[in-house]
Every structure is written in structure tokens, then in C-alpha cells.
Amino acid sequence: MSELVFQTITELSGRLATGEISSAELTRTFIARTKSLDQRVHAFNSFDAGDALAQAVASDERRAAGQSRGPLDGIPVGLKDVIAVTGQPLTASSRMLANFVSPYDATVTARLKQAGAVLWGRLNCDEFAMGSSTENSAFGPAANPWDLARVPGGSSGGSAAAVAAGEAVATLGSDTGGSIRQPAALCGVVGLKPTYGLVSRYGLVAFASSLDQIGPMTRTVEDAAIMLGAIAGHDENDSTSYRSQIPDYRAELKRRPGPWRIGLPREYFGEGLDPEIGAAVEQAVAFYRAQGCEVKPVSLPHTPYCLDTYYIIATAEASSNLARFDGVRYGHRSKDAKDAVDLYFKSRSEGFGPEVKRRIILGTYVLSSGYYDAFYLRAQKVRTLIRRDFLKAYEEVDALLTPTSPVPAFKLGEKSDPLALYLCDIYTIGVNLAGLPAISVPCGFTRAGLPIGLQLIGQPFQEADLLALAHVYERAHDWCRRRPAFAAVASSG
């Protein structure tokens, strides 16, 4: 049954529908595989095998009664450990929440349950989703299944690694500045960041509330469409949730054949781009041209300001959001505090890791008296200009095409300088600042055998077009069918 772990939602749901396999069999296969592999990959912070099997049995009983809930019914789906699931740990990969158990479901969790998915495990990530390598996890770094000595990206590194290693059929991650797309690129899977407001953030541990968005990580674009259809939609619990009709994204893949007008932002193809990644992306551009698409250069002139703008706004919002972790109400509480002020100081000093502290300090500074106008307010004005750049480009083109990451997966411990890690998100953060949808799709490998990702950036709430554009490319290539040598050996073993 080891071949099951690399099949898609579409393939597995078909086999479940015919009775060829049961959800219980499928879930046992993933449990066994994760137990045998994850000590080396460390994609999971925790999992409850008994609970997953109980969900699978319930799915089989529904199916036997003719009450299947659709393509996700009985499919094991992992969740990044910043998304709430009733009765399950919610640690955000931090000592601050090491013993916290969620008392409620996130909206996306409730919708996956409604769709019949088997919620499978809590996935490793950078602490409070702050990082680009999953090395900031308080529970240890995750590894890239294509090379266990390298990072899987971040902050949703565990979510990407679990899919790449065959430890989950699909997963959910969160994306504040590229945290779904960058690890998807580094691990050779599909990662979709929806338009801000399309997917509810209720039940997501907040990092930067105006930037955070939950999205799927899957083997194929079609699987991403299925997952998005399950989790998207308005939610009264999220004040930023957008009211809109949710199309059948999966069906729309075939109804939107193109051709499209595609823009190539000049600012995304310059200094710092790995030559092998640049060559692979150029081949993808040539493919779209061959399909009859109009491909033209465009400019996003405020791109050079994206990094500075992002790290002012994101850290300011993080400073505000993480103020709630005070050692009083929940989370880590210092045992040797002398008074209330000492309790607050020691609980936060002990509970937060170095990168989280760094961002809280920076965020507090840019919000402080005398600096608010000079930094935070100015960054918000520049953010408006960045969004206008994208919208102006969309007057000429339907979507934008760029690399996802400037570099392939790097070795664990290689980038100890925080700024070097921040630069890994240079092609993804503008999308979050502008609130746009974007997807990373595998588009090749380096000579060292490391995956390369292609990023497609769509117009607001036009996920159906974005998915169709990505699907055309994926369907003509076999990148998504390739398997890491480590995972293949594990399967045979």
C-alpha cells in the first residue's frame, strides 16, 4: 500500500468511491509511514493516531451509508501548528504555547471536518510563523525530503515537507510573506496563497493580521483547487472576511482554457536570482508563449521598497498581537517571578525564541512615540503604492509570472544572518502587501536535484483563473510526479 502515499486527492477519492480502499486503510498507511520517517524529516510536532483512525472509520461508515461528503471525505490532511483544532495541541512551535490545547476549531478546521477530511497531525513551522527555513521552531528544525541536510523553507516548512515525503495527502499552511509559496518551491509541491479575505483567519494564531492568510499545499493544482473550494468563503467570525460567491474551482480548471496575457516584472529577474532558477523559469515562459499566450515585460517600480515595508508592518503587528502572551492568562508562566512585572518579563523572556524577540523589539520600536510617523505610517503609505503597481500592471496583463524563491533549498545552519533569511522572501512579500492571490508550482530541478518553483500572481479574487493558468503548465510537465530518493527508498523499505 506504500504507493498510496504519493497519490493525489483526486486519485485517492476515486479509489475510496469504488471501495478499492477504505479511509481506515489509507490512514493507517500514513500513520505507519510517518512513524517510520518523521524522526528524520520532523514535519510533525505531534499527531494522534487514534483520533485520526476514528475520523477515518466515521468516513467509511458515511460512505457505506451513501452519505459521502465529496472528494475530501476520508483523505488525511495535515494542519500547520498555528491552526486551531479542538482538543489538539496548538503550540505555534513555541515554548510559550508548548502545553496549550485548543478549546475550539478554526473556521478552516470546521470546514475541513464538514468536508469529511481526516485531520492528521500538527505540522512543524518557524515559531509563531516567523521565519523562512523552519529552523526557528522551538521543537527542532524540519528537513527537506529532497536533501535531509537542507531546509524545507518556512515558515510552513513542515506542511511542505509532509506532502513531499508522503506523510500527508495535503496540508494547510499560513502565508504572511511567502510562508506557503517559498517552502512549496523548495520542497517541489504546489502552494497556494489566496486573496486576503477569501479564507477566514479565525482560529489562526496571529502574526501580522493584515498580511496573514491560510492556504493549501498539495501535490497538484487540481488538489489545491479542491482544498480551496472546501475552506474558502465568508465567515462572520472574521471581520476581514470577504462576501463573495465561491465557484467550483476544480470544475473551472477546464472551463478557462486561455490563452492569457502574462506579465514578467523586470524587478524580479535581476541581481540575486540563482542562474539555474532563472533558466527554469525562462523555460516556463517559453512554454506559455508556445501555448499562444501574450508575454510582455511590465514594471512594479516600488518593488525595491517591499522588504523594508514588510518588515516594518509585519513586526509592528506582531508586537501588538503577541502582547497577549503575558504569563497570566495562558501560555508559558515563569515559576520564579517575584512580582507582576517580573512575571511578565520572565515569562516572555523564557517563552519566546530569538527571532520572535527580535521582531517584537523591532515592531515595538516602529510603533513607539516619536517613530510611528517616520516608520509605520510611512510604510503603510508605501504599501498603497506597491498595491497600485500591481493593479496598474493588471490593466495590461491577466497575471504575473516570476520565480518563487531566488535560491534553492540551502543547508541547515547555512544562513545564520537574519537579513540573509529575510531576502529569501524577496519575490513573495509584495503579494501579501498587496493582498493578492499567488501560487507556486514546480518547474524543474537544479543540477544538484533540488526543486525549483514558478510563481504565478493573479488578480484579486480571481483564483479560478490563477489555478487554470497553473494547471495548463502542470498538465504538460511531470515535475509533480517526481519523488525524492529518500522517500522512494523509504517506500520500498
| Catalytic center residues | 80, 155, 179
Q: Position of cell 503575558?
A: 326
Q: Which of 176, 81, 194, 187 lies closest to 130, judged by CA? A: 176
Nearest-angstrom CA–CA distance, 116 and 139:
30
Instruction: Tell me which amino acid residue 491 is.
Output: S
CB 432 within 8 A of CB 180: no
CB 199 within 8 A of CB 215: yes
Nearest-angstrom CA–CA distance, 377 and 380:
5
> Which grid cell is 447?
543540477
Nearest-angstrom CA–CA distance, 157 and 238:
26
Coil, helix or strand at residue 290: helix
Length of the chain, please? 493
Nearest-angstrom CA–CA distance, 305 and 382:
8
Secondary structure letter of residue 194 according to DSSP: P
> Interhelix angle for 23-41 vs 49-64, to 10°?
160
Q: What is the DSSP string of 146-168?
A: TBTTB---SSSHHHHHHHHTTS-
CB 127 within 8 A of CB 135: no
Q: Position of cell 517541489?
A: 188
Alpha helices (H) in 103-239, listed in sequence order: 107-114, 157-164, 181-187, 221-231
Instruction: Tell me which amino acid residue 488 is.
Output: A
Longest dimension (CA), the chain: 71
Spacing of C-alpha 107 from chain mean position: 17
Nearest-angstrom CA–CA distance, 32 and 167:
9
Q: What is the DSSP string of 338-403?
A: SSHHHHHHHHHHHHS-HHHHHHHHHHHHHHSTTTIIIIIIHHHHHHHHHHHHHHHHTTT-SEEEEE
